[in-house]
Structure 1
Amino acid sequence: MKEYMKEMRKLVGTRPIIMCGSSVIINNPAREVLMIHRTDNDTWCFPGGAVELGEKVEDTAAREVFEETGLILDSLNLFGVFSGEDLHYKYPNGDEVYIVDIVYQSDSYKGEVKLNDEGKDIRFFKINELPERISPPVRPVVEALRNRRS
């Protein structure tokens, strides 16, 4: 079923729901990470999104990366699973979620980076030069990444 989250929102409105998602930390050869400047909350995040019914999380990761960046991933390595109060978020439209984010890492991809309509900017950053406005549910992932690279 496509657009599972939209269908759920029709049933529950803006009430809190658990959202399973998958995102990817994409590294270029200089070990910089790819981030997208989101249009919905004016913050930066890694490419990713919600898992559709029956979809494997690694397939979600690859699909979302392609949709949001135009890149085709050659490999995925599990970085970590993030959940709990730190991933509670209320979107600007009022939708409230508790995210379970299965985060992968990849440094092997094909294609040229191109932005879709979900973002207003996309670029690679050095880990110590990330933008200040990181999406709140992505902050624990960024912290874990910085800790592993230090």
Structure 2
Amino acid sequence: MSEGYVLDLRKILGPRPLVIACASLIIYNNEGMLLQKRKDTGCWSYHGGSIEPGETAEEAARREVFEEIGLTVGDMELFTVCSGEAQHFCYPNGDEVHIVDVVYTSNEFSGAILLEASEVTDARWFPFEQLPKDVMPSTQAALLNFAKKMMEQKHIK
């Protein structure tokens, strides 16, 4: 989680559970999805993070992608909003969150992948039918649903 609003709250509230608004992005092409390996958990995930005060969800998703992997995103489409028990997460440092995640998709991006070493250890393309086994639990449902949708569309054409 990057510095900003949530870090300021943590200084006051400590590790107790917080409900956090987040925005995320599934980057894809015709063959698969670009996932990142998180430094904090060692799991694969889509790209995203918390929404800062005054920021739209779209702005936050674009900012997070640029900060985490160096890509600039074009048009985005709302895919889903994830909430509930599956979005409950405890960071390795003990901070606890309940995430409401606005998840977008985009196949319009530019730039070269440049990893933010403090958050991301790797970024790779995965075919829709061969996602990694160690996907972060809070992103798994959205990733699997998007992969299924894309595989169904490929078979229809």
TM range, smaller chain: over 0.9
Deviation at 1:104, TM superposition (A): 0.3
Shift of 1:130: 1.2
Partner residue, 2:38: 38
- How many pairs are equivalent? 148
Aligned partner of 1:145: which letter? F
The answer as to whether partners of 2:115 and 2:122 remain within 8 angstroms in 1 is: yes
Q: Distance in 1 between matches of 2:82 and 2:112?
A: 29
Counterpart position of 2:155:
none
Deviation per residue, 1:36-93 (Å, 9 max, x gap): 1011111111111110011101000000111111111111100111101111111111
TM-score, normalising length: structure 1:
0.93
Task: Provide the rounded CA distance (Å) in 1 between the counterparts of 2:111 and 2:147.
Answer: 27
Q: Which amino acid aligns with 2:90?
A: K
Q: Which amino acid aligns with 1:138?
A: T
Identity of paired residues, percent?
39
For structure 2, the 5+ residue unaligned runs are 153-157
Cα distance in 2 for partners of 1:35, 1:13 equals 30
Q: Which residue of 2 aligns with 1:61?
A: 61
Q: CA RMSD in A?
A: 1.2
Work out the CA distance in 1 between the residues paired with 2:110 and 2:141. Answer: 28
C-alpha deviation, 1:22, in angstroms: 0.6
Matched, 1:113 2:109: no
Stretches of structure 1 that go unaligned for 5 or more consecutive residues are: none
The 5 A counterparts of 1:89-108 are 89-108=89-108
